[in-house]
């Protein structure tokens, strides 16, 4: 907080007339379809590298981690929502999360080596870690509404929570499929039923929407894992027998097609900018995570990094709105 009386109010007033280009997508049906596709691909790709190609969990995790760091850096540096970059990061969290979970639960090795803490303990540890992240998030004063994140700190917390959520989703899915005896098909139907219940709760109850979002976000990971197993497992095990390579290729093509579709939709209907971020605990303006503009109306960011509204003169951007 500022030590100068009234200074915080002056700062808020100064920034209240400015807006930040949205970096994260809206939570519509397409978001969930893309998310399930991305995490399913993360599961099959993890099996392809770790088991089929015999790189092991550690080697595969290092490869996926390098990929994740690159795409996350691109996402953090971007000034607006780019579907290819955003979903590349979600895919990265799924792939890295799969390897972290497998290493934690099973231990190092090429297959299901029983040298880890086990699925139940792994899920419990990750649940505790995710709870700690949410407590830290709340203490920072950043918004929990993932559709309204406009600060750099808020976006970083968002990605940390997503990485842990996808890792937890892998561990909980493995526990449900293996430890309960349901198998991947039974686990798929159980999780799908829970997802439908969450959907009903969203529309029919007053349960906090962000609580429902994060529960659903975690559950889409084991849902995708069960779906991935249905593709790649042999027919005598209840799968389609596509194998890790062809299953991963089919999911990759589907993901690319969906991302192209979303990119076209965003170009036709640009996402509305968000109000300049203000810390809900201190009332202080926060560092924005996207380009800062001076109009609340729909826009596009040109190649020169300037914002322009359809049919209007080029907007004036503030000095921190660097080009992509």
Handedness of CA 274, 208, 29, 223 (dihedral sign): positive
3-class secondary structure per residue, 236-294: HHCCCCCHHHHHHHHHHHHHHHHHHHHHHHHHHCCCCCEECCECCCCCCECCECCCEEC
Residue 311 burial by Cβ neighbours in a 10 Å radius (0-12, 13-18, 19+): exposed
Which pLDDT score is estimated for 252?
A: 95
298 SS3 class: coil
Which pLDDT score is estimated for 15?
A: 57
Looking at every residue in the chain, the average pLDDT score rounds to 81
pTM for this entry:
0.83
Q: Which CB contacts under 8 angstroms, 24+ apart, belong to 58-61?
A: 58/103, 58/108, 60/99, 61/96, 61/99, 61/100, 61/103
5 SS3 class: coil
Which pLDDT score is estimated for 124?
A: 87
Residues in Cβ contact with 313 at an 8 Å cutoff, skipping those fewer than 6 apart? none
Contact 142, 24 (CB under 8 A): no
Q: What is the pLDDT along the chain (324 residues), one digit of tens a residue?
A: 444 444 444 455 555 668 999 999 999 999 999 999 998 998 888 888 877 888 877 788 889 999 999 999 999 999 999 999 999 999 999 988 887 877 776 665 544 445 667 777 878 888 899 999 999 999 999 998 999 999 999 999 999 999 998 888 777 777 777 777 777 777 788 888 998 999 999 889 999 888 899 989 888 888 887 777 778 777 776 667 888 889 999 999 999 999 999 999 999 999 999 999 998 888 889 999 999 988 776 454 543 344 444 444 333 444 444 444
Among 233, 236, 235, smallest CA distance to 244 is for 233
């Amino acid at each position: 907080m500022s030590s100068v009386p009234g200074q915080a109010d002056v700062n808020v007033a100064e920034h209240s007339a400015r807006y930040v280009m949205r970096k994260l997508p809206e939570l519509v049906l397409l978001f969930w379809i893309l998310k399930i596709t991305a995490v399913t691909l993360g599961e099959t790709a993890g099996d392809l590298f770790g088991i089929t190609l015999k790189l092991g969990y550690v080697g595969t995790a290092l490869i996926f981690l390098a990929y994740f760091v690159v795409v996350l850096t691109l996402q953090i540096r971007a000034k607006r929502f780019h579907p290819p970059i955003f979903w590349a990061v979600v895919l990265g969290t799924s792939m890295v999360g799969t390897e972290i979970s497998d290493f934690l639960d099973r231990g190092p090795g090429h297959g299901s080596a029983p040298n880890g803490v086990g699925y139940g303990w792994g899920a419990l540890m990750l649940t505790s870690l995710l709870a700690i992240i949410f407590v830290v998030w709340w203490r920072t004063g950043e918004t929990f509404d993932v559709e309204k994140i406009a600060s750099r700190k808020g976006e970083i917390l968002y990605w940390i929570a997503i990485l842990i959520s996808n890792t937890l989703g892998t561990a909980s899915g493995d526990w449900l499929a293996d430890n309960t005896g349901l198998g991947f098909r039974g686990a798929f139907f159980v999780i799908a039923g829970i997802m439908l219940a969450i959907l009903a709760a969203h529309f029919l109850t007053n349960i906090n929407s962000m609580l429902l979002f994060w529960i659903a976000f975690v559950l889409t990971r084991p849902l995708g894992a069960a779906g991935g197993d249905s593709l790649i497992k042999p027919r005598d095990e209840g799968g389609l027998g596509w194998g890790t390579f062809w299953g991963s290729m089919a999911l990759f093509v589907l993901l690319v097609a969906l991302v192209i579709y979303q990119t076209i939709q965003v170009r036709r209907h640009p996402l509305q900018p968000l109000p300049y971020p203000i810390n809900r605990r201190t009332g202080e303006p926060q560092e924005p995570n996207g380009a800062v503009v001076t109009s609340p109306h729909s826009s596009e960011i040109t190649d020169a990094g300037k914002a322009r509204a359809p049919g209007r003169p080029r907007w004036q951007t503030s000095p921190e709105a660097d080009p992509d």
